Structure 1
């Protein structure tokens, strides 16, 4: 399916995409994109990202959402969750041991991840109807680490081009369907080597997984993003954001559901 990205006339996403795809492949860290390659709009940023995905040529596992909370959507100026791609080689089982990313810094996010069922949710349906067509839900870690030395200084379009900072994903415990809504609203925490690392996000800083999923399904329909049975959709952060070069064993908990990974 061709993705419908109306990027600016005269903007060629391929040079920036090639630079970013090479950084992915080599484990390089970029200071930024050259002025003549830099995306200037949301559409330009996504156009670069789509080219990066094509150049990497890794099988698609699904999509990651970012800046999905009310506060995050307001700060991004997009008005809906940002999305990026997740590829199968970068999705890992619970308690995986992973190398520290090239930039050194990681943002460990505790999230709810959905796996789409045989009937892909329909755009325009209610959030509850979309949720009903999901096959299963998990707690998971998204490891955010940009190809840029400092992901915060290049603006939202470049962040979108860089796959919204996606580095890796770890799938944890499955959440029993009868507990979904209660679990999604439960406090979330992350510990590092047994010590508290991240507290539960509060109020508008915390993602609503069902709302994030619903907004993304509508966005996917309007832009032509392919949604297929079995795809993963991880919805955004439930804990207070903390970016650091920390290594060790990270343990996340959402109600009684756990996920863990070691960063070496």
Structure 2
């Protein structure tokens, strides 16, 4: 905690965000209300929410890495990624019809989904160790959402708000691609069948495996492992696009495969 924040401040912020999931009413930016709020404070608020939901019986399915593109980092004035968590009840499959009303202000991002075949326990995980732990690579879409009003976020706001994670969609058939080819893979993001964005895997920190190693090491410093069987999303190929009920979103990896979800 920073010198100006208290445990009560952090718990109040966590409770506000937990309440926003239920009410679908966003909260004002936390940075404006917690004096001297630090990144450490923000992750503490995120962790309080994780423990709250685990205590309710929800099951951790994996982690997401955000802020992996240079453009997004520059937009928020940061120089490193962030991370969040998602539960099994937040994971949808290819072809899913997802109620748009379950979110406050959703947007979609095309990503890889790494299914881990080995546990990664940092610190000290290398790129090669991270790559070797990937069992299968799936097409994925992250539905990002913000419990902060009007997406008015800086780094501490999004970190506290579980890195703006809303839900995950993942394909059922792995992409036919090797780990060492990921940076050159192209993906298009389509809304209602129309290509709206395109990007290459190298947009994800120059190497989509790099966020996996980074995450394993950051969590490892806290005594937390990335477990075999978990799904890890390393970051988006493109900028995020808003979606509303009646629209579909497709992550199209060309001949490698695709993933489509619909919002109802």
TM-score range, shorter chain: 0.7 to 0.9
**Equivalents in 2 of 1:28, 1:96: separation in Å?**
25
Contact 1:90 1:168 in 2 (8 A): yes
Q: CA-to-partner distance for each residue in 1:40-98, whole Å, 9 max, x for gaps?
A: 11111111011111222321111111001234345545533200011111011111111
**Equivalents in 1 of 2:74, 2:128: separation in Å?**
24
| Counterpart in the other structure of 2:216 | 217
**Equivalents in 1 of 2:66, 2:200: separation in Å?**
14
| Counterpart in the other structure of 2:231 | 232
**Equivalents in 2 of 1:129, 1:34: separation in Å?**
37
| Counterpart in the other structure of 1:124 | 124
Q: CA-to-partner distance for each residue in 1:238-261, whole Å, 9 max, x for gaps?
A: 123334547412111124221110
- Flag the 1:41–1:236 CA change in 2: closer, same or farther, 3 A: same
Query: Is 1:8 equivalent to 2:18 in the alignment?
Result: no
SS in 2 for 1:72: helix
SS in 2 for 1:150: helix
**Equivalents in 2 of 1:121, 1:51: separation in Å?**
22
Query: Is 1:31 equivalent to 2:28 in the alignment?
Result: yes
| Counterpart in the other structure of 2:257 | 257
Return 136-145 or 70-79, whichever deviates more: 70-79
Return 12-21 or 74-83, whichever deviates more: 74-83
- Flag the 1:89–1:240 CA change in 2: closer, same or farther, 3 A: same
Query: Is 1:19 equivalent to 2:48 in the alignment?
Result: no
Which structure's residues are more often helix, by fraction? 2
Query: Is 1:137 equivalent to 2:137 in the alignment?
Result: yes
Report the TM-score when normalising by structure 1: 0.85
Unaligned 5+ residue runs, structure 1?
1-6
Return 155-164 or 247-256, whichever deviates more: 247-256
- Flag the 1:39–1:115 CA change in 2: closer, same or farther, 3 A: farther
- Flag the 1:61–1:204 CA change in 2: closer, same or farther, 3 A: closer
| Counterpart in the other structure of 2:195 | 196
Unaligned 5+ residue runs, structure 2?
none
**Equivalents in 2 of 1:55, 1:262: separation in Å?**
30
Contact 1:80 1:215 in 2 (8 A): no
SS in 1 for 2:118: coil
Measured on the aligned residues, the alpha-carbon RMSD in Å equals 2.6
**Equivalents in 1 of 2:75, 2:150: separation in Å?**
18
Q: How does 1:5-154 map to 2 (within 5 A)?
A: 7-9=1-3, 10-12=5-7, 13-33=10-30, 35-37=32-34, 40-57=37-54, 58-101=58-101, 105-120=105-120, 122-151=122-151, 153-154=152-153
Contact 1:11 1:44 in 2 (8 A): no
**Equivalents in 2 of 1:250, 1:156: separation in Å?**
27
Contact 1:68 1:81 in 2 (8 A): yes
- Flag the 1:226–1:243 CA change in 2: closer, same or farther, 3 A: same
Q: CA-to-partner distance for each residue in 1:10-54, whole Å, 9 max, x for gaps?
A: 432110001101111333322334954477111111110111112
